[in-house]
């Protein structure tokens, strides 16, 4: 079976799918992943075929600096850039599917993949890394807040946002026109899939977030899809020497966003009395701190005293898997949701919203994370539970069911 994964987004969106793709290949599936060129190596080292999605989302992270609120002009410009990005992704999705596929797995920001699948007469299955269905259990993750509005408010607002405008609406409409499909709004297509109970797989753990009671039966929670280790990867000698030359440090990094400068991170770690491994900056080297490039979380995080990050879905999962406390500094969309989940599970202090971030607050949170034994103990308990889960088996079952003749 030829499986095509459609993964617009940043590295955090692609890496879990590449890990899943690698495991599907060992079970006999032929896997191609459509992703931005920046992540081609990530895809191919997992043994999957890379098909290009034009564009680069890495700079589309937040329209404002830490501690500042975005202006209306900032937000309008940001949404225009997102729309342009998704238009390129829609074009790339069509080309990727025309290169051959028997079934499509589409992430949460690729609704145009369903339009392409409809035109080509092949099944499409949702493969999401965050909960996007409207529910009484949580507020809509696209709002970038974890503040509950109560069961009725959460459900109502989630439904309104699902039916409202999104930056991938115009790309979906254009692709339908190009393919000669009947005119249909993206929200109407989603509503039709929901009414038909079409499957959506969620690559996240019920240990971290229990399945909501009001989810329809077609929504499955599989367990995490862990990124694949790069064959033959070796850590930089300077990093190995740094880790061996003192107590466990604190990791501070913000994925694709590079959200903080080196001086801010260095001063916060120093004032918290911690050595630091800094990701997203360059040129830091010494007994108290070191800067790094891409290093596998599964290797690095277990050696940390705590991890400070943006609380993206994949990075949050990696911190819990490593069994170390987390300080969440969410920037946008679902990051606030995951940061709040980690704190509610007792694996770290209360998160700091990026727009409210100050050096003093970060110092306090790092100090709490390192000085509170209960955080580390709870993180280790969650790590043990995650190690028993298999996120691949439910995906295999869904793929085989989708391929059955009707």
Q: What distance, in Å, lies between the first and last C-alpha atoms of the chain?
A: 17
Distances in whole angstroms, Cα of residue 192 to Cα of each of 176, 184, 266, 284, 399? 16, 10, 51, 53, 21
Tokens of 12: 């955090």
pLDDT surpasses 50 at 26: yes
Helices (H) and strands (E) in the chain, counts: 15, 12
Strand order across the beta sheet in which 30-36 lies: 49-53, 30-36, 2-6, 103-106, 124-128, 200-202, 219-221
Strand order across the beta sheet in which 276-279 lies: 289-292, 276-279, 250-252, 306-309, 326-328
Per-residue pLDDT reduced to its tens digit, 134-156: 999 999 998 888 999 999 999 99
Measured between alpha carbons, how far is 333 from 144 in angstroms, rounded to an integer? Answer: 4
More confident residue, 257 or 114: 114
**Please, which pLDDT band fits residue 406 given cuts at 50, 70 and 90?**
very low
Given a contact cutoff of 8 angstroms between Cβ atoms, the answer to whether 51 and 34 are in contact is: yes
Give the per-residue pLDDT at 104.
98
User: pTM for this structure?
Assistant: 0.93
pLDDT surpasses 80 at 359: yes
What value does the mean pLDDT take over residues 51-57?
93
Cβ-Cβ contacts under 8 Å for 134 (sequence gap 6 or more): 140, 154, 155, 157, 158, 159, 161, 162
Give the per-residue pLDDT at 69.
67
Per-residue pLDDT reduced to its tens digit, 111-133: 999 999 999 999 999 999 999 99
Per-residue pLDDT reduced to its tens digit, 299-348: 999 999 999 999 999 999 999 999 999 999 998 889 999 999 999 999 99
């Amino acid at each position: 079976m030829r499986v095509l994964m459609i993964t617009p987004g940043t590295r955090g969106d692609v890496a879990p799918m590449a890990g899943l793709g690698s495991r599907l290949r060992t079970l006999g599936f032929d896997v191609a992943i459509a992703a931005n060129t920046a992540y081609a190596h990530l895809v191919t080292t997992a043994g999957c075929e890379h098909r290009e999605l034009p564009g680069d989302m890495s700079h589309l992270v937040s329209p404002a600096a830490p501690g500042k609120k975005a202006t209306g002009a900032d937000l309008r410009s940001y949404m225009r850039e997102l729309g342009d990005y998704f238009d390129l992704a829609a074009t790339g999705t069509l080309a990727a599917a025309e290169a051959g596929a028997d079934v499509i797995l589409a992430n949460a920001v690729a609704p145009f993949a369903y339009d392409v699948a409809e035109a080509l007469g092949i099944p499409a299955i949702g493969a999401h890394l965050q909960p996007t269905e409207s529910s009484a259990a949580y507020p809509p993750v696209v709002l970038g807040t974890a503040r509950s509005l109560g069961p009725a408010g959460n459900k109502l607002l989630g439904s309104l946002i699902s039916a409202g405008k999104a930056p991938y609406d115009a790309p979906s409409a254009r692709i339908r026109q190009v393919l000669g499909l009947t005119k249909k709004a993206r929200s109407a297509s989603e509503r039709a899939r929901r009414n038909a109970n079409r499957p959506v797989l969620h690559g996240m753990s019920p240990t971290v977030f229990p399945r909501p009671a009001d989810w329809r039966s077609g929504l499955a929670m599989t367990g995490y899809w862990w990124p694949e280790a790069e064959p033959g990867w070796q850590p930089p000698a300077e990093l190995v020497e740094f880790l061996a030359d003192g107590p466990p440090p604190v990791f501070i990094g913000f994925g694709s966003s590079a959200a903080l400068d080196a001086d801010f991170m260095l001063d916060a770690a120093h004032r918290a009395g911690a050595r630091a491994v800094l990701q997203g900056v360059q040129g830091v080297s010494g007994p108290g701190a070191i800067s790094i490039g891409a290093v596998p979380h599964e290797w690095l995080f277990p050696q940390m005293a705590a991890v400070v990050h943006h609380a993206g879905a994949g990075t949050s999962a990696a911190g819990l898997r490593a069994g170390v406390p987390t300080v969440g500094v969410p920037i946008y969309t679902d990051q606030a949701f995951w940061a709040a989940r980690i704190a509610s599970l007792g694996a770290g202090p209360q998160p700091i919203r990026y727009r409210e971030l100050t050096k003093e607050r970060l110092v306090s949170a790092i100090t709490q994370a390192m000085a509170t034994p209960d955080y580390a103990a709870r993180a280790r308990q969650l790590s043990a539970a995650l190690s028993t889960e298999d996120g691949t088996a439910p995906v295999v079952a869904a793929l085989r069911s989708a391929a059955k003749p009707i």
